[in-house]
Every structure is written in C-alpha cells, then in structure tokens.
Amino acid sequence: MEGDSNGGMLYHEVQESNLCAVHCVNTVLQGPFFSEFDLAALASDLDSKERQMMLEGTASAAVSSDFLSEESHNVSLGGDFSIQVLQKALEVWDLQVIPLDCPVAEAAQIDPELENAFICHLHDHWFCIRKVNGEWYNFDSLNAAPLNFSKFYLSAYLDSLKGSGWSIFLVRGNFPKEFPISSSEASNGYGQWLSPEDAESITKSCNLTQAPSQRNTMSQQPALTETDLQLLSDMEDEDLRVAIAASLMNSSPATASAEVSTPKTES
C-alpha cells in the first residue's frame, strides 16, 4: 500500500501581508513551491503578452490605449493576483484550474468528494480546500492551522460559499506527491509542516482563547443556516457535528520557485 504524501504531514501557510494567493497556490501543491516574486514574474509576463495581443489584434485604438494605460491586469498594488496568475503557476505542475460552474466540471458539482482540491476567491482573498491523505482540510491562511471537515459536508459547504458570492475553481491533474521537507527550501518564513494531530490541537486552542463575538465578526465565510443546523442535528456522530460547526464558525477569509527536484505525483 502506498504511504501518505509528505510523511503524513500537512503544509499550511499563515497570512503574511496580502500574500493569500501565494499561500493558496502553495497549499494546493502542499509545499513552499512559489514565492511572491515568482507570482509577480508570472503576472508581469501575462501583462506583456496581453498588451502585445492588444497591439496586434483588431481592437480599436481607443480600447488599446485604455488597456495599455493600466498598471497591471494581473496583480494589484496591494498584492492581489488574478486567477490567470494562479492558473499559470499551477500549470507549471501540470495542474488545471477550472471554474466549478463550467460544464467540464459537472461531475465535481455532483460528487466533489471525488476531487482533490478547490480554490475559493472573494474580493481580495484566496484560499484552498484540499484533500490530503484522504482527509479534507480548509487551508485558509487566516487560520492558524488547517481545519479538517467531513467529506460528507463538502458539497453543502461549497454550495454555501457559492451562495455567499465566492468564486469556486476546481483543480485537477497530477498533484506533487512529495516535497523535500529536509531541504533548505522547506520553509519560506510563513509556512509550517503540521501533523493532523497538531493541526487539530492548534485549532482547539484558538477556539478556546478566541471570543465567540470575534469569531463571528471576523468570518466572511457563510455562517450556519437553518438548513446547516438541521443537517448537523441529523448526523449521528457527535464528534463530526462539532468538527463541522467549528470549521464553519471559525474560518475567516477576508481579505517558490518551482525549480526543485521532480517529485512523485499523486493521481
């Protein structure tokens, strides 16, 4: 039987400045594969290609002038990157980023638990939901640790996000199987490797020390609805109900160089 990826460890990045897009890409890949400089370089390259296409295309001179006058269409002054930048970064590892409402993603809409990763975006914040070693986690960088939740609640959770205005993207392909944790690139200053037990312990500790009012006002993810509460009440497993409630109430989105040895991949 094949062993767990990265020795069973989870890779999580805690929010640094406005680098949530970097954190999102790296937690999808489960390792510090990209830095903000890598994504900025991809954004600059995309800007150059887009401007060149406008100059060579059939667009009117007025439209081209307006387009060329913009600073960048792929990274803001605040550090927020476009979905095209995230797509380019993940393409380096042969991964596709597909809007969840796209026809090709219809199967994922029906059975999302059969997939491996989703990217979520609202306003200036990115985060990923990732399956690691058979378990689903919310790797939002605004959380101190990844939040584990049941695959049975994944579909309802994604629907709640979409209903609250979040854009959801499916990630498909051969995900990196291993990152050389012992290498000098295993940490970028805001990333950390955690065992599932450590992640759970950190989350419980944060829940105990953080006032409920703080959790509710900070969160921009959907709160528990009557339907959610009914679903939770119908579940027989008390521990599962507690874990799902904690995941929804405490998640708060607000807001690498790829030159490493070729890793194994997981399907």
Among all residues, which ones are annotated catalytic?
A: 20, 125, 140
Q: Which amino acid is at 224?
A: L
Residues 174-190, buried b or exposed e (16+ Cβ, 10 A)? ebbbbbeeeeebeebeb
Report which secondary-structure segment, H or E, holds 11. Answer: strand 10-13
Q: Which amino acid is at 147?
A: L
Query: HSE on the CB side for 189, CA within 13 Å?
Result: 9
Distance (Å, whole) CA 133 – CA 4: 6
Burial class (CB in 10 A: 0-12, 13-18, 19+), 75: buried
Distance (Å, whole) CA 99 – CA 92: 19
First to last CA, the chain: 15
Q: Which amino acid is at 36?
A: E
Parallel, antiparallel, or unpaired: how do β-strands 117-122 and 125-132 relate? antiparallel
Distance (Å, whole) CA 108 – CA 104: 9
Confirm if 175 and 95 have CB atoms less than 8 A apart: yes
Q: Please report which residue ranges of 100-168 form alpha helices under DSSP H.
A: 106-110, 151-163
Confirm if 262 and 136 have CB atoms less than 8 A apart: no
